[in-house]
Amino acid sequence: MEGWALGLIRILGGALCLAFFAAGAVAQPAPAVQPAIDGILAAFADHPLVAISDFHNMAQEEDFYAALVRDPRFAATVEDIVVEFASAHNQGIADRFVNGQEVSATDLRRLLSETVGFIPAGVRLGYINFFAAVRAANAGLPPSRRIRVWLGDPPIDWSKVRTHADWMPLVRQRDVHATVLIEREILARHRKALVIYGGLHFYPSEAKGPSENLGPALAHKQPLFIVTPYAGFNEDSCSKDFELAAREWPVPAIVTPFRGTSAADVAQRPDCHAAPPGNPPLDNDRFSGLAGDALLYLGPATALKISPVMPDIYLDAGYRAEMSRHYEVIMGKPLTKPTVADNPTALKPFPSYRRR
């Protein structure tokens, strides 16, 4: 038989095999895609705790927190919010501020920057706006229905923290403190809470043991419903393919469930890796960036931006020196950023994925 004929047979045979396997494949179910605020509120129907993985410093995510609490349905559904980005040492300041009382600029700055971890210290504009949004929402509510913001980071008095050895015991208490707080103030009182913490806190940690992080520690009582933002894939081609499938979704959107549905097709490809900074390693890094019960879609990865910082950190020399001291205690070196050059009014892209 002529070579060209054998080649044609091979091509046709391969096409038939592909068609056979495609016909035999079981299509994954479509996910439910809905406006993000609707999806968050719907999750509270079956869960007292709904958690959003905070991709620290992502502007769109921080804006979403403010939009969520501004929605009048939120306060009608949820009594409490637990946040990572402020210390229980300043709980009184937070309570006064969100309840409409006068709080000095000095105290507000303490609330936003005195935390056990330097990241996510609340010097980002989005965290500031979050507290202001809760204050505005509460202004129209009777005291009995106001949203309370619980500061989940352990108490820290930075005037007494001088060395890394002083700081380390507090770091080890970060998830323990938040777990006890949620059990005592939320679950034991049969209340509902939104929990805003970095994604690593919601999954087991080999370094700390399987049940010492916040999510696993609560799982025996009431597992968290975890919402994870989309921040792109390491490979541009995978981000483009995923976003093509998401082109009709509202922005922002909640996709639930995500894994096990057609929305996860790209994530399941062996050539695609979703692993933005701060996300937990699970079975393998294909899914590490898209873990959880639902996906929060805030738009294409290349459109995501870094939230600007509070300019005090480079305008006020005394404040800068104290923040640099915190950083040196934690990291062993003085603070060199941010400067005015690092904080442009035209927001910089969020560094969510590595290009391949």
Q: Would you say residue 71 lies in a domain? A: yes
Q: Would you say residue 241 lies in a domain? A: yes
Pairing of strands 253-256, 294-297: antiparallel
Domain span at residue 97 reads 32-301
Q: Would you say residue 332 lies in a domain? A: no
Element (H, E) at 277: none
Residues (pLDDT < 50) of the chain are: 1-25, 210, 277-288, 353-356
So what's the pLDDT on residue 248?
A: 93
Any idea what the CATH number is for the domain that residue 146 is in? 3.40.50
So what's the pLDDT on residue 208?
A: 59
Could you tell me which residues come within 8 angstroms of residue 318 by beta carbon, excluding any fewer than 6 positions away? none
SS3 state at 257 = coil
Q: Would you say residue 207 lies in a domain? A: yes
Number of domain units in the chain: 1
Q: Would you say residue 43 lies in a domain? A: yes
Torsion of CA 197, 199, 203, 206, to 10 degrees: -110
Distance CA 49, CA 62 (A): 19
Radius of gyration in angstroms for the set of CA atoms belonging to the chain, rounded to a whole number: 23
Element (H, E) at 92: helix 91-98
- Residue-wise pLDDT tens digits, 287-325: 346 778 899 999 999 999 999 999 999 999 999 999 999
So what's the pLDDT on residue 257?
A: 87
Q: Would you say residue 346 lies in a domain? A: no
Under 8 Å between Cβ of 126 and 60: no
SS3 state at 151 = strand
- Number of residues assigned to the chain: 356
In degrees and rounded to multiples of 5, residue 228 shows phi and psi of: -115, 125
Under 8 Å between Cβ of 321 and 311: no
Cα→Cα distances 207→203, 204, 210, Å: 12, 9, 9
Question: In the numeric block, which tokens belong to residue 287?
Answer: 């899914």
Element (H, E) at 296: strand 294-297
So what's the pLDDT on residue 282?
A: 42
Pairing of strands 49-53, 225-229: parallel
Q: Would you say residue 193 lies in a domain? A: yes
Distance CA 343, CA 59 (A): 13
So what's the pLDDT on residue 222?
A: 78
- Residue-wise pLDDT tens digits, 153-178: 999 999 999 999 999 999 999 999 99
Q: Would you say residue 356 lies in a domain? A: no
